């Protein structure tokens, strides 16, 4: 009886001036990664060699022309080498060249996914300032991938071993977030999260939906009735459809309840409401998942860490976890 194939995962190297090359190299040399999936990096072979040298690890960095050319053996890292970075690119500095290269890595990975050559994407961190300096005006990976795949609306999910959080709004100001939240958006976000949790093996997810105001408005005591106007109608529709969505919940207790197992997923209304509790659990515990795309996409839940880039000090635990979840959520072709 033959062993089932593991999924092919495109791994984007991220901003070459940050820790992306180091965490990519480290994670792909970890045996647990190669046991779960067949990773192909989209990036810069020379930068990966430099990162491996800095980390003091032995790696065969093998440029390939296509996914079909990849050979998976211990210690080998297959790279679709775009060759966009200069050899003297400084570590830890914003660079339009590195920002454009990071964009191109994601573009190529998206094309591979849309053609069915890979079953998932795992992204190392890019730098938003560098991305913008290169003329690519996207708030982050989530919006960039939606654009590249022609997806009208996606959601950001943060996944940890204890808590999973999907966000109704993400990279916009708090005042703008409250204005943007409306029942349709809340409903669609919950449905995307519900599908993702079911895809991970939970048949009937229990979903806790946060309020916007302190104490979820306390029956109109705080705020201007936002919960009743923007959230309650969505929950009513979802429950009528058989989805176990509960709330609006006070955000200051919702995450505690999820952590002890009462909920499989928490729905946060804005960026910091969801990110804050997850970051308390530790950067290496969190993985960023974009839900709603035509392909699975996971990412580390940390930035480019310019302060330690090129020093060999970057931890690879979050990237290994991101690879693990990409493999688990993807189905091999």
Q: Confidence band (pLDDT; 50, 70, 90) for 200?
A: confident
* Rounded Cα–Cα distance for residues 226 and 284 (Å): 34
> pLDDT at residue 331 above 90?
no
Q: Which of 41, 40, 43, 48 is nearest to 7 (CA)?
A: 40
| Same domain flag for 208 and 236 | yes
**Is residue 286 domain-resident?**
no
The tokens for 172 are 């916009």
Q: Confidence band (pLDDT; 50, 70, 90) for 266?
A: very high
Higher confidence at residue 5 or residue 50? 50
Give pLDDT tens digits for 90-107.
999 999 999 999 999 999
Mean pLDDT of 51-74: 95
Domain that holds residue 258: 163-280
**Is residue 231 domain-resident?**
yes
Q: Confidence band (pLDDT; 50, 70, 90) for 265?
A: very high
Cα separations in angstroms, 169 against 191, 231, 256, 313: 15, 13, 21, 33
* Rounded Cα–Cα distance for residues 24 and 51 (Å): 9
Residue 14, CB-side half-sphere exposure with 13 Å CA sphere: 32
> pLDDT at residue 284 above 50?
yes
DSSP per-residue codes, 116-165: TS-SEEEE----HHHHHHTT---SSHHHHHHHHTT-S--EEEEE-SS-EE
* Rounded Cα–Cα distance for residues 76 and 25 (Å): 10
**Nearest-10 Cα torsion for 38, 41, 45, 49:** -60
166 CB-near residues (< 8 Å, 6+ apart): 155, 156, 157, 189, 190, 192, 193, 196, 265, 266, 267, 268, 274, 291
| Same domain flag for 262 and 301 | no
Share of the chain above pLDDT 70, in %: 97
| Same domain flag for 57 and 141 | yes
Higher confidence at residue 142 or residue 68? 68
Higher confidence at residue 140 or residue 270? 270
Point out the least confidently predicted range of 34-48, 71-85, 136-150, 237-251: 136-150
> pLDDT at residue 112 above 60?
yes
| Same domain flag for 310 and 202 | no
| Same domain flag for 128 and 4 | yes
* Rounded Cα–Cα distance for residues 208 and 266 (Å): 5
DSSP per-residue codes, 222-238: SSSSHIIIIIHHHHHHH
**Is residue 297 domain-resident?**
yes
Q: Confidence band (pLDDT; 50, 70, 90) for 198?
A: confident
**Is residue 185 domain-resident?**
yes
Q: Confidence band (pLDDT; 50, 70, 90) for 285?
A: low
Give residue 2's pLDDT: 40
Mean pLDDT of 26-42: 96
Q: Into how many domains does the chain fold?
A: 2
Mean pLDDT of 66-70: 97
**Is residue 288 domain-resident?**
no
| Same domain flag for 12 and 47 | yes
Spacing of C-alpha 152 from chain mean position: 18
Mean pLDDT of 136-150: 92
| Same domain flag for 184 and 261 | yes
**Is residue 158 domain-resident?**
no
Q: 22: domain CATH number?
A: 3.40.718.10
Q: Confidence band (pLDDT; 50, 70, 90) for 194?
A: very high
Give residue 1's pLDDT: 37
| Same domain flag for 130 and 183 | no
Share of the chain above pLDDT 90, in %: 78
Strands 296-300 vs 287-291: parallel, antiparallel or unpaired: antiparallel
* Rounded Cα–Cα distance for residues 148 and 109 (Å): 10
| Same domain flag for 62 and 120 | yes
Give residue 283's pLDDT: 58
Q: Give the chain's mean pLDDT.
A: 93
| Same domain flag for 206 and 241 | yes
Strands 287-291 vs 155-159: parallel, antiparallel or unpaired: antiparallel
Mean pLDDT of 22-28: 97
| Same domain flag for 109 and 169 | no
Higher confidence at residue 329 or residue 150? 150
291 CB-near residues (< 8 Å, 6+ apart): 154, 155, 156, 157, 166, 192, 193, 195, 196
| Same domain flag for 59 and 142 | yes
Higher confidence at residue 178 or residue 325? 178
């Amino acid at each position: 009886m033959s062993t089932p194939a593991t999924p092919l995962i495109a791994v984007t190297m991220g901003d070459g001036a940050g820790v992306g090359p180091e965490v990519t190299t480290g994670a792909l040399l970890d045996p647990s990664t190669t046991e779960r999936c067949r990773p192909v990096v989209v990036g810069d072979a020379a930068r990966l060699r430099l990162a491996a040298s800095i980390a003091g690890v032995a790696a065969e960095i093998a440029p390939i022309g296509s996914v079909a050319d990849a050979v998976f053996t211990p210690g080998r890292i297959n790279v679709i080498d775009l060759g966009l970075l200069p050899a003297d690119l400084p570590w830890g500095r914003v660079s339009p060249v590195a920002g454009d290269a990071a964009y191109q890595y994601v573009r190529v990975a998206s094309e591979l996914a849309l053609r069915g050559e890979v079953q998932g994407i795992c992204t190392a961190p890019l730098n938003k300032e560098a991305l913008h300096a290169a003329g690519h005006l996207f708030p982050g990976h989530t919006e960039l991938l939606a654009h590249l795949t022609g997806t009208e609306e996606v959601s950001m999910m943060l996944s940890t071993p204890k808590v999973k959080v999907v966000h109704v709004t993400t990279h916009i100001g708090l005042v703008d977030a409250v204005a943007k939240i409306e029942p349709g958006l809340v409903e669609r976000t919950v449905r995307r999260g519900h599908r993702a949790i079911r895809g991970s093996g939970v048949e009937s997810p229990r979903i806790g939906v946060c309020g916007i105001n302190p104490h979820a408005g306390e029956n109109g005591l705080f705020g201007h009735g936002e919960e009743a106007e923007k959230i309650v109608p969505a929950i009513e529709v979802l429950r009528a459809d058989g989805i176990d969505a509960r709330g609006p919940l006070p955000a200051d207790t919702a995450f505690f309840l999820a952590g002890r197992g009462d909920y499989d997923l928490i729905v946060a209304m804005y960026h910091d409401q969801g990110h804050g509790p997850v970051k308390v659990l530790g950067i290496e515990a969190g993985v960023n998942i974009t839900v709603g795309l035509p392909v699975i996409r996971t990412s580390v839940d940390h930035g480019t860490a310019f302060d330690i880039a090129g020093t060999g000090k970057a931890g690879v635990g979050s990237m290994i976890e991101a690879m693990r979840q990409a493999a688990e959520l993807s189905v091999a072709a």
